[in-house]
Amino acid sequence: MAKRKLKKNNTCHSSSVASVKPKSQKEMAQTEKSATFALAAVALVVAVCVAPLAAEISSSDIHHHKHLSLKMDEAQLTVNNELSYEVQVSWMSQRCYQCLYQQLGVVPAGLEPGQPSSVNFVVSTQHEITLQINSTPIELELCKIPFHFGEHGNYSLWVKTLNASFGVNCSVVTDKDPVNSYIPILVAFLIYALLALVFAIGKKVWGLDAVRGLVLRLGSSMETERLINSELGPTRVVPPVTDNILPPPLTSSRRLRSLDTFRGISLVIMVFVNYGGGRYWFFRHESWNGLTVADLVFPWFVFIMGTSIALSINALLRAGATRCSLLRKAVWRSLQLFIIGVLVINPNYCQGALAWENLRIPGVLQRLAWSYLVVACLDLLVARGQLDVLTVDAWWSPAIDFLLYWPAWLCVILLEVLWLFLTFQLPVPDCPAGYLGPGGIGDMGLYVNCTGGAAGFIDRLLLGEKHMYQNPSSRVIYATRIPYDPEGVLGSINSILMAFLGLQAGKIILHYRERPKSIMSRFLIWGLLLGVVSAFLTKCSTDQGFIPVNKNLWSLSYVTTLACFAFVLLMLIYYIVDVNKWWSGAPFYYPGMNSILVYVGHEVFEDYFPFRWRMSNSQSHAEHLIQNLVATSCWVIISYLLYKKKIFWKI
- Which residues are annotated as catalytic? 285
Angstrom distance (rounded) from CA 467 to CA 488:
10
Q: Which residues pair with 76 in a beta bridge?
A: 122, 154
* Beta strands across the sheet bearing 140-147: 102-107, 87-93, 129-135, 140-147
Angstrom distance (rounded) from CA 169 to CA 346:
53
Q: Which residues pair with 169 in a beta bridge?
A: 160
Write the CA distances from 620 to 60, 180, 430, 623, 630, integer angstroms: 11, 12, 43, 5, 16
Q: Which residues pair with 90 in a beta bridge?
A: 103, 132
Angstrom distance (rounded) from CA 271 to CA 606:
10
Q: Are 264 and 592 in contact (CB under 8 A)?
A: yes
Q: Which residues pair with 120 in a beta bridge?
A: 78
Q: Which helix (H) or strand (E) holds 103?
A: strand 102-107
Q: Are 366 and 337 in contact (CB under 8 A)?
A: yes
Angstrom distance (rounded) from CA 420 to CA 430:
20
Own/partner contacts of 532-535, CB < 8 Å, gap of 24 or more, are: 533/557, 533/560, 534/560, 534/561, 534/564
DSSP 25-70: --TTHHHHHHHHHHHHHHHHHHHHHHHHHHHHHHHTTSTT-SS---
Q: Are 333 and 651 in contact (CB under 8 A)?
A: yes
Burial of 478 (0-12, 13-18, 19+ CB in 10 A): buried
Q: Is residue 249 left, alpha or beta, with left meaning phi > 0 and alpha meaning psi from -120 to 50? A: beta
Residue 573: how many other CB atoms lie within 10 Å: 22
Q: Which residues pair with 588 in a beta bridge?
A: none
Q: Which residues pair with 129 in a beta bridge?
A: 93, 147
Query: What's CA 445's distance to the chain center, in Å?
Result: 29
Angstrom distance (rounded) from CA 214 to CA 210:
6
Angstrom distance (rounded) from CA 459 to CA 105:
37
Identify the DSSP state of 112.
B
Q: Beta strands of 218-317 (E only): which ranges?
A: none
Angstrom distance (rounded) from CA 429 to CA 448:
12
Angstrom distance (rounded) from CA 232 to CA 216:
18
Q: Which residues pair with 157 in a beta bridge?
A: 79, 172
Q: Which helix (H) or strand (E) holds 182?
A: none
Write the CA distances from 116 to 95, 119, 139, integer angstroms: 32, 10, 21
Angstrom distance (rounded) from CA 302 to CA 375:
11
